[in-house]
Amino acid sequence: MMPGLFITATDTGAGKTFVATRLAEALVAAGCKVAVRKPAESGCPEVDGRLVPQDAEALRRAAGGREPLETVCPRPLREPLSPPRAARRMKQKLFLDELVAACAMPADADLMLVEGAGGLFAPLAED
């Protein structure tokens, strides 16, 4: 099993992205190849017809920009709601196995950092 960390907090806006990006930057500076994921991000603005996950972009940059944004966050969601609720509002469903699969460790990474959505007890998926 490859090493990894799941970053969570008590609520939205509590500092998960701040902590995760600083940790990724420090690990990269120490010579680690860090993979980062935020498998679902709510409240993404639309730019040029595309939802842009801003926290995931900050994570991607902090990890050195090695992976495409679509890999870091495969499920950007429009409304600032829990991921399953935001997905339903977009006529989509979000399942745990999909989120887990999105967090598969790349072969060339030393460590995986995954940032959760919302607070510790916020639902991440339909199931």
Supply the residues annotated as catalytic. 38
Could you tell me whether strands 34-37 and 111-115 are parallel, antiparallel, or unpaired per DSSP bridges? parallel
Structure tokens at 27: 């690990």
Taking each helix axis from N to C end, the angle separating 54-62 and 16-29, rounded to the nearest 10 degrees, works out to: 20
Cα 18 to Cα 20: distance, rounded to the nearest angstrom: 6
Cα 24 to Cα 37: distance, rounded to the nearest angstrom: 11
